[in-house]
Homo-oligomer: A and B are copies of this chain.
């Protein structure tokens, strides 16, 4: 998975639930953090996004007490949208597979705008290899 960018997150005690594991509603928060770590912090992209689709496959329980790794790559860049694939790993297990599509947003009109050439170039190292 050479094109993936990784960030580490420590599960919070308050993110557990009475089943003893991380509650399913926490995963979208970690996925959001993972996208922010790549786009805002690492690449310093300031373009506002709006999430338009989120798909999460929960493969294995996540627990409190061990850090998790959130991996992210770019699946596709459309006209005004970007599709990311993400994975969450804990203790060498791939616990979550997810994909998220975001639309580039003009904050004044709140309408989608074209993804700029600069952003396309910044994200290109993280594009999944095409067959």
Give the B-binding residues of A (Cβ under 8 A).
10, 12-14, 16-21, 23-29, 32-33, 36, 40, 48, 50-58, 61, 64-65, 107, 110
The complex is assembled from copies of this chain, and their number is 4
Q: Which residues of B contact A10 (CB under 8 A)?
A: 33
**A7–chain B nearest beta-carbon distance, Å:** 10
Contact B33 A12 (CB under 8 A): yes
Contact A57 B64 (CB under 8 A): no
CA distance A29 to B110 in the complex (A): 24
Contact A14 B12 (CB under 8 A): no
Contact B17 A17 (CB under 8 A): yes
**A18–chain B nearest beta-carbon distance, Å:** 4
Contact A25 B16 (CB under 8 A): no
**A16–chain B nearest beta-carbon distance, Å:** 4
Contact A25 B29 (CB under 8 A): yes
**A61–chain B nearest beta-carbon distance, Å:** 7
- For this complex, 18 residue pairs linking A to B, each with C-beta atoms less than 8 Å apart, are A10-B33, A12-B29, A12-B36, A13-B17, A14-B17, A14-B29, A17-B17, A17-B18, A18-B18, A19-B48, A19-B50, A24-B54, A25-B32, A28-B28, A40-B65, A50-B61, A51-B58, A52-B57
CA distance A29 to B10 in the complex (A): 13
